[in-house]
């Protein structure tokens, strides 16, 4: 069951998607009541947008569920939340939440590509922690492409994050500026200039410079033929995390690009959730 929800971030009404673990559903009105109770405020609409062909009747409250926060890539309408990914992720025994970032899909405010909209992810994290059917100790965050910026920032700001996954992720935004000529106008408009003029703003949006402050286990997923976010982004992030003594793994997909073919994508998702669920006690007594 997937819902389009409204929640609060910096006092703004922003949007996101909530997908329940496969085989579970609740009325949209109940989900809305939970959200409004948390904020002590009404008028936060929730809309059901997808449900299984065979209506489910399993009890959502039978346990506390692990969560994956999925930070989308792109900007504006380009790279918006992928509903088929929500469905796939939910089949691995997780509740999935995907912020759309402020200013998108009817939400208030303005997306700053790793700027003020970062609070949208933190706000989602706090909201999820409040839900009685969520295990607050097992909230992981995954960032795809540009979403790696938001995901890494969340892992730094919220040290209780369970796992961090950076999938085809940007690690150095100044490098992206140099590589992606078609993004330069947007980046200068959103950030206020180029990497020379706004060096600190680009560094603040680069996971490479956050690496030493990430305390949870990290997984990197990257294709070697990625034309949108060069493979070197993943590789240099992996090496930096290793140098910092982090608990880090990397799943490299030889010959594949930014988005994987369906069968390879499904293989990557399966490996990702196996990694999320692994026991780290042997590696970290």
Catalytic residues: 145, 258
Q: What tokens appear for 230 in the block?
A: 């060069």
β-strand pairing of 12-19 with 46-50: unpaired
Can you tell me whether residue 161 is helix, strand or coil?
coil
Say if strands 2-9 and 12-19 run parallel, antiparallel, or are unpaired: antiparallel
Smallest CA-to-CA distance from 48 within 72, 81, 26 is with 26
Q: Are 166 and 233 in contact, with CB atoms under 8 Å apart? A: no
What are the φ/ψ torsions at residue 128 (nearest 5 degrees)? -60, -40
Tokens 């496969």 belong to 22
CA dihedral over 132, 7, 104, 25, signed as positive or negative: positive
Beta bridge partners of 7: 14
Residue 227 Ramachandran class (φ > 0 left, ψ -120 to 50 alpha, else beta):
alpha
């Amino acid at each position: 069951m997937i819902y389009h929800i409204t929640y609060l971030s910096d006092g703004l009404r922003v949007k996101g998607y909530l997908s329940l673990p496969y085989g579970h559903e609740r009325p949209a009105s109940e989900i809305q009541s939970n959200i409004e109770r948390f904020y002590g405020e009404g008028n936060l609409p929730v809309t059901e947008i997808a449900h299984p062909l065979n209506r489910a009747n399993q009890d959502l409250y039978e346990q506390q569920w692990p969560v994956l926060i999925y930070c989308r890539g792109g900007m504006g309408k380009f790279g918006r939340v992928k509903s088929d990914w929500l469905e796939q992720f939910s089949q691995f025994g997780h509740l999935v939440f995907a912020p759309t970032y402020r200013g998108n899909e009817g939400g208030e405010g303005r997306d700053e590509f790793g700027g003020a909209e970062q609070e949208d992810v933190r706000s989602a994290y706090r909201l999820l922690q409040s839900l009685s059917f969520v295990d607050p100790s097992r909230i992981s965050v995954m960032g795809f492409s540009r979403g790696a910026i938001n995901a890494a920032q969340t892992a730094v700001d919220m040290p209780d994050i369970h796992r961090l996954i950076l999938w085809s992720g940007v690690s150095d935004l100044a490098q992206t500026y140099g590589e992606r000529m078609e993004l330069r106008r947007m980046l200068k408009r959103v950030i206020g200039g180029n990497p020379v003029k706004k060096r600190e703003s680009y560094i603040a949006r680069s996971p490479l410079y956050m690496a030493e402050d990430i305390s949870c286990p990290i997984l990197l997923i990257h294709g070697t033929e990625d034309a949108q976010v060069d493979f070197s982004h993943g590789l240099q992030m992996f090496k930096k995390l290793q140098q910092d003594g982090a608990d880090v793994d990397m799943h490299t997909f030889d010959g594949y690009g930014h988005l994987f073919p369906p069968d390879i994508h499904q293989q990557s998702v399966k490996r990702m959730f196996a990694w999320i669920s692994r026991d780290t006690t042997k590696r970290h007594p």
